[in-house]
Amino acid sequence: DTGVSQDPRHKITKRGQNVTFRCDPISEHNRLYWYRQTLGQGPEFLTYFQNEAQLEKSRLLSDRFSAERPKGSFSTLEIQRTEQGDSAMYLCASSLAGVGYEQYFGPGTRLTVT
């Protein structure tokens, strides 16, 4: 059983650098979500895709953030010109479209901006 995978698991970068994270969803899932979780808080929604279409973006997703899902399979989340406030756990989840289908989460990518 291959669940949701994320790469890398940990990333340390200097302020001002660009970083890119990858998420591979469960193979038959057509929806893919990105969330951000800061220490001691619950995850906050960033964006989601159905197949390759990006259907919703949170106000948290500033213009320094961009997400893609080019062929409706894996997705990437890029952060340009990282800031210390970007330090967080970035979680990816996938699901089938439709009522009652729960989201399955990956292990997350922990980003530390120094």
Residues that bind other proteins (CB under 8 A): 4, 31, 33, 35, 40-45, 48, 56, 91, 93, 95-108, 110
Query: By C-beta, is 80 or 87 nearer to other proteins?
Result: 87
Token pair of 89 as six digits: 């756990």
User: Least distance (Å) from other proteins to the CB of residue 19?
Assistant: 19
Query: By C-beta, is 21 or 35 nearer to other proteins?
Result: 35
User: Least distance (Å) from other proteins to the CB of residue 108?
Assistant: 5
Q: Per DSSP, which regions of 1-114 are E strands?
A: 5-7, 10-13, 19-24, 31-37, 44-50, 53-57, 65-68, 75-79, 88-95, 104-105, 109-113
Q: In angstroms, rounded to a whole number, what is the distance separating the alpha carbons of residues 27 and 24? A: 8
Query: By C-beta, is 86 or 108 nearer to other proteins?
Result: 108
Q: In angstroms, rounded to a whole number, what is the distance separating the alpha carbons of residues 75 and 7? A: 11
User: Least distance (Å) from other proteins to the CB of residue 71?
Assistant: 22
